[in-house]
Structure 1
């Protein structure tokens, strides 16, 4: 009996590398995303999360070099697109919400004019039709008095309002893939929750695939269906939620979870992973985590582990008892 055909992945990345000189900011990244799926990407600063997504968007300029065995969106090879084809795709079918909305918006134009430019470029909307759609989009992202706010300049709006404008701009053409890169970094806690709730609602209502880059493991645990944990430009563990957070197999994932304040109640000190993510001059020959890993063994210092079919990049994955112990910082 023939098995039913598998649905085509919305996004498929294999062996993505982004190099600046000799430094691999992204070092052999493998990721896939199904249509309508929400994938969380987590890791410390310097892990390559944002650079990988900028490479996907075609926003890595010289001297950066991008290469991949496969970089496909809906079966289309993104590396083979010419500049015109990429401009037609990016902003329409693939869109991105950046960390700092105020620095991403043009201070010389009203927010309505900037959204209208997207509508004109990709959908050909002009005049009254474009103005009406701008107001509809601002209302969709829950900006009050949308018609008046469309005439405001970015400096006249709060950080939360500007982030909503960025989201409105990103979803203006009904993208199939939305990348949200730390979309609440510069916002206070109350506004962060509102923005995350808005993104989740829009993702569900519009059936978008969503790549959520964040440092906040609690947000990922609550929102995402799968998670990819990145370290030093590589995915070190990936799998479905909540199973992966309940029983992490990679020492780095366990260390991230152990550092969550909720897991340190009653402890004298917050659990922390010593050291920093390696840079261009201190990249280990073996496992990239080996200088910081409490479970390091001789093989780890000389060999570089591959990502297994089980979704973990480690020669000595944590056994169940050790995973629970690492999580609770005992």
Structure 2
């Protein structure tokens, strides 16, 4: 049984489909990477899973299952019990996610109290253990620090500590290294990978960094304009991209443009609410577009959403 199963997920804001028929699954202990440019629906997909889409957003799905449980059929109370304990999320900006009015130790202890019923000395002991687990030095004293007293990298480690506090089966990391130094980014990624392996949890990594996905993930889903346009194993998808958008993303990596006067780029922008094509959503930007691409939207078949896939199947 899959740890996570998403089928035909749609998130609508008025007339705008931010997520448009996404199918995904995550197996126990698997690391799935989700990539795509800004506005492709990566974060909104996972926020819908976590129940974080507020009005006027509307979430529908044929299946939104976690360990066989249909999340859309759970009561708000049942879902709150699940979220944060068995399924947790690390957001991209730790300083805006943490409450500046409370110490980091208090905020981690809140998670332990809400989901495990830990209080007092037992909770404090577990908080120190978690801070040590995410490699925060002098953990006993740092639990009394406020977010503004810690660096960006330390606050991100605090967010990870909160995420893994209840030993979740699934952890979602949404751009966890945004605005961090390159060396700190590497440390955070190494930390997440070590924790994922040690605890055997499923990990969904949302990122713009294709190099991170290539090194860490078992599978990768490429999203564009709210749809999964290609999904496949690593390194297969990187060695043989079949969708023109995946091909363009890989071609834009600086290492692939050595000696060139300009970086390779895909012209145009992601379609918005009022300029969505009736056919393939990439058709206005695609160098391989054919008449059928403009008329009818392709389905995701054999891991690629394209009438004329590149490379070999």
If the TM-score is normalised by the length of the shorter chain, which range does it land in? over 0.9
Please name the residue that 1:187 is paired with. Answer: 180
Matching of residues 86-105 of structure 1 within 5 Å: 86-105=79-98
RMSD of aligned alpha carbons: 0.8
Aligned residues: 313
Cα distance in 2 for residues equivalent to 1:176 and 1:66: 23
Q: How many Å apart are 1:126 and its aligned residue?
A: 0.3
Alpha-carbon displacement from aligned partner over 1:44-65 (angstroms, at most 9, x marks no partner): 0000000000000000000000
Asked whether 1:313 is paired with 2:310, we answer no
Asked whether 1:121 is paired with 2:114, we answer yes
TM-score between the two structures when normalised by the length of structure 1:
0.94
Please name the residue that 1:49 is paired with. Answer: 42
Cα distance in 2 for residues equivalent to 1:34 and 1:105: 30
Among 140, 161, 169, which residue is 1:147 paired with?
Answer: 140
Alpha-carbon displacement from aligned partner over 1:167-216 (angstroms, at most 9, x marks no partner): 00000000000000000011111100000000000000000000000000
Matching of residues 181-260 of structure 1 within 5 Å: 181-260=174-253
TM-score between the two structures when normalised by the length of structure 2:
0.99
Any idea what SS the aligned residue of 2:221 has?
strand
Cα distance in 2 for residues equivalent to 1:114 and 1:157: 14
Q: Quick check: 2:5–2:26 contact (8 Å CA) kept in 1?
A: yes
Asked whether 1:268 is paired with 2:261, we answer yes
Alpha-carbon displacement from aligned partner over 1:95-133 (angstroms, at most 9, x marks no partner): 000000000000010000000000000000000000000
Alpha-carbon displacement from aligned partner over 1:5-57 (angstroms, at most 9, x marks no partner): xxx00000000000000100000000000000000000000000000000000
- Divergent runs of 4+, >6 A: none
Cα distance in 2 for residues equivalent to 1:153 and 1:86: 29
Any idea what SS the aligned residue of 1:272 has?
coil
Any idea what SS the aligned residue of 2:96 has?
helix
Cα distance in 2 for residues equivalent to 1:211 and 1:38: 6
Cα distance in 2 for residues equivalent to 1:319 and 1:152: 53
Among 257, 274, 292, which residue is 1:299 paired with?
Answer: 292
